[in-house]
Amino acid sequence: MGRLQPERGANQVKCPTCGMEYRIAWVKDGFPRIRGPVWDVTKRLAEEAFQRKMKEEKKDGPK
Amino acid sequence: MALNRKIAYIDLSTGKVEIRPIPLDMRKKLLGGRGLDAYLLYNHTKKGCDPLGPDNTLMVSGGILTATLASATARTHVMAKSPLGGMLGSCNMGGFFAPELAWAGFHHLVIKGKAAKPVYLWIHNGKIEIRDAKNIWGKTVTETQWTIREELGDEDVKSLVIGQAGENLVRYANVMTGIKNSGGRTGMGAVMGSKNLKAIAARGTMDIKIAYPKEALDYNKRFIDQITSAKVNQTQGTLGTPFIWGATNSWGGVRTRNFQYNQMLYCDEIEPESIDENATETIGPNHMSGCFGCQVHCRAKYKIPTGPYAGKYDEGPEYTSQGAFSSEPDIPSLENLLVANHLVNQWGVDNLEIGSIISWAMELYELGILTNKETDGLELRFGSSEALLEMIERICFRKGWLGNVLAEGGIIASEKIGKNSFDYLIQVKGVNNLHSDERATPALALNIATASRGSDHLRSRPAIDLYHLPQEVMRKIYSSPVPYDGPLSSEHTEYVGKPWQVFWHENCYMAVDCLGICKYHTVFLGATLPNFEDWSRVLYYNTGLEVTPREIWDIAERCNMIERLFNLREGLQREDLKKGDMLNHRYFDEPVRRGAPDVVGMAIDREKFKKMVDEFYEYKGLDRDGVPKPETLERLGLEKEPSHLL
């Protein structure tokens, strides 16, 4: 996880590393904050990540 | 001057009041506020005393800087043995009470015994009266305050009160002031109720002489610039604490369905922008208010827009209410959040504790451990606003079997409910966890496990650990006022370097609690906010007391150790699930399933957690069992405690 800088006025931003998408609210001009995730995207990515990691743990044993 | 404010010993059983000065050497050793209260608690309570009995001693205080020219020094602290976990009880709230108490001549109150009938204290310009409370007993938090003002004929009277929850000895009842300034977490409102003490009212016009007024004002201007230029405070001043929700719920740091999930899905309605859009007279730059002497103005106002409570005015909801009434019971309704927040403010009960305990009961109901027999037919399911609001009322008024049992707090309730209900209770030292899920954040997990008042974010949480700060920024913060050249990691899922961060924040937060400063004015949520160096100067200019930054650190360490000594005397053992520095097994055994992909699948590693606790103990000068070493007590000047000097 790292820091993201959305384009000025944008209402969404996507993490180039993990694919997470966030809804953006603007406290004032030039001052963004994360309002919340894009629900369907976060739900899908989490389910995929969970299945993948549990499969890896089963294969390798608990870390 | 600030240092001539007095300490009053009030015995409610006999009606005797004794007023004494606070010796300068005790100020140099403990400053004031929470630190001095901890000393008083350790000295004035006996091991094993009944927290709801007359032998428990209740301390009320302001910080050493309260009502001076220093910004945001309005915090009121209350301390006693907790009826919730049987360990240290402590709460801290903003508002206007502590400055009024200081203008009335007092920094500390020590309240013993039990009144024969309901009473309240009236403190004005050096005098203390014990008055009949028959006109206010049974009233809500705000009704009580206005009735006292009418009775005393002065609209400027500030009161510290309990609502019906405190009167009914709900073990997590709050002490309240104003509309929503809440002294929550460890049941200090129940301790007041057990003493038949409904309120403490204060009004004062006694000047506080400032040691170096010009320098104090000049430095405070700098302080204000620092406070108001921080983005975190600009956001708080627009949205209040709910601004935190968006980020933490996005990456998966929020408890949902008790502890089954770490993110609440599809909950746009409870986001702060939505509150602003849908409620009336709400948050937004023109609808925020603040505590005495504060420039942040994080207190949102609102009117409930719909439903049976439409039009009711209140303040908040805080981030903690979003967790307690929305994510934990998984209810995405705005009206539910605003109504629940209103009810707990009016009846005076801890939002975090009541939301957590109801969510725990919801999980037990869905597992079949609780049935319709225990709930008197109430469908106690996740997602049900009707069930949540009904249970808040039942608990505050101890209605029905389950309301009465849950009013006793999680540990006692789990013993009465039986089966394996305790396994699902997410608590530390008897205090339910706030709504954050720490399975992906080892530093935050260490914080709640070792916090002196039980699971809590305001004792030692390195919240800035979530900011991915550059190494040089972290090094600058964590290497002062004592040198540290060990590892530091900007990655919040890491274990390395975290024990030092928790130790540093433990001392930072104790320092501000002794000074009386709000945590939003220090390195809690903002990395650039004032710190030990600033406090040393502010203290000198306002009070004339010369204390170096390093000495403030030492004082904080000493006061934290006194709290540790109190908890050890009450039975703290390192790995005891009910009284120790330990987490529920679910932290270690159940990986998180939601949130950012790098967080998904994480749980706390048991061995690494143990090593973190070992390292944290080393920094504090404790042995492997969590007991202070003799040389530590000597270094901190605590080898002869309790010393009964105050």
- Taking the domains of chain B in order of start, what are their residue ranges? 2-203, 242-432, 442-635
Of B243, B246, B265, the CB nearest to A39: B265
The values of phi and psi at residue B622, to 5°, are -105, 155
For residues B579 and B572, the answer to whether their CB atoms sit within 8 Å is: yes
**What is the Cα–Cα distance from A52 to A54, expressed in whole angstroms?**
6
Domain positions in chain A: 12-60
Whether A46 and B595 lie within 8 Å, measured CB to CB: yes
Whether B266 and A33 lie within 8 Å, measured CB to CB: no
For residues B30 and B558, the answer to whether their CB atoms sit within 8 Å is: yes
Which residue's structure tokens are 């430095």? B219
Mean pLDDT over the full length of chain B: 96
Whole-angstrom CA distances from B535 to A24, B46, B400, B632 are 36, 34, 50, 25
Q: What's the burial of B110, exposed, middle or buried (CB within 10 Å: 0-12/13-18/19+)? A: buried
Given the candidates 3.40.50.150, 3.30.300.30, 3.60.9.10, 3.65.10.10, the CATH classification of the domain at B2-203 is 3.60.9.10
Chain B residues at the A interface, defined by Cβ less than 8 Å, are 231, 234-235, 238-239, 243, 245-247, 249-252, 263, 265-268, 271, 273, 468, 492-493, 591, 593-601, 605
Q: Which amino acid is at B379?
A: E
The DSSP code sequence of B28-55 is HHH-SHHHHHHHHHHHHS-TT--TTSTT
Determine the length of chain B. 646
For chain A, report the end-to-end CA distance as a whole number of angstroms: 21
B280 vs B593 pLDDT, higher one? B593
Q: Helix B334-347 and helix B141-152: axis angle, to 10°?
A: 40
**What is the Cα–Cα distance from B354 to B407, expressed in whole angstroms?**
9
Of A18, A43, A45, the CB nearest to B265: A43
On whether the pTM is more than 0.95, the answer is yes
Residue A61: the pLDDT is: 64
pLDDT at B111 over 90: yes
Q: Helix B498-515 and helix B532-543: axis angle, to 10°?
A: 10
* CA atoms within 13 Å, Cβ hemisphere of B621: 18
pLDDT at B67 over 60: yes
pLDDT at B288 over 60: yes
pLDDT at B1 over 80: no
- Strand order through the sheet with B288-289: B288-289, B299-303, B313-315
For residues B547 and B588, the answer to whether their CB atoms sit within 8 Å is: no
pLDDT band at B392 (very low <50, low <70, confident <90, very high): very high
Min Cα distance A18 → chain B (Å) is 7
Each residue's pLDDT tens digit, B130-161: 999 999 999 999 999 999 999 999 999 999 99
Chain B residues lying within 8 Å of A16, measured CB to CB: none
Q: What is the mean pLDDT of residues B616-629?
A: 98
Min Cα distance B234 → chain A (Å) is 8
Chain B residues lying within 8 Å of A48, measured CB to CB: 597
Residue B280: the pLDDT is: 81
For chain B, report the end-to-end CA distance as a whole number of angstroms: 20
Per-residue pLDDT of chain A (63 residues; tens, 9 = 90+): 667 889 999 999 999 999 999 999 999 888 999 999 999 999 999 999 999 999 987 776 655
Min Cα distance A7 → chain B (Å) is 18
Whether A63 and B238 lie within 8 Å, measured CB to CB: no
Q: Tokens at residue B280, please?
A: 């009336």
Each residue's pLDDT tens digit, B415-446: 999 999 999 999 999 999 989 999 999 999 99
CATH number, span B442-635: 1.10.599.10
Chain A residues lying within 8 Å of B234, measured CB to CB: 27-28, 31
Question: Among residues of chain B, what percentage have pLDDT more than 90?
Answer: 95
**What is the Cα–Cα distance from B185 to B171, expressed in whole angstroms?**
10
Residue A62: the pLDDT is: 53
Each residue's pLDDT tens digit, B5-39: 999 999 999 999 999 999 999 999 999 999 999 99
Please tell me the least confidently modeled range out of B187-191, B227-231, B373-377. Answer: B227-231
Q: What's the burial of B152, exposed, middle or buried (CB within 10 Å: 0-12/13-18/19+)? A: middle
Each residue's pLDDT tens digit, B77-90: 999 999 999 999 99
| CATH fold group of domain B242-432 | 1.10.569
Of A2, A46, A63, the CB nearest to B600: A46
Residue B284: the pLDDT is: 73
Q: Supply the DSSP symbol for B100.
A: H
Q: Tokens at residue B130, please?
A: 């014990």
> Number of Cβ pairs closer than 8 Å across A and B?
84
Q: Tokens at residue B225, please?
A: 């610039």
Residue B286: the pLDDT is: 75
Q: What is the mean pLDDT of residues B515-527?
A: 93
Buried b (16+ CB within 10 A) or exposed e, A27-59: beeeebbbbbbbeeebeebbeebbeeeeeeeee
Please name which of B329, B340, B333 lies closest in space to residue B383, comparing C-alpha atoms. Answer: B329
Q: What is the mean pLDDT of residues B596-622?
A: 97
Residue B572: the pLDDT is: 98
Whether B598 and A1 lie within 8 Å, measured CB to CB: yes
Question: Among residues of chain B, what percentage have pLDDT more than 70?
Answer: 100
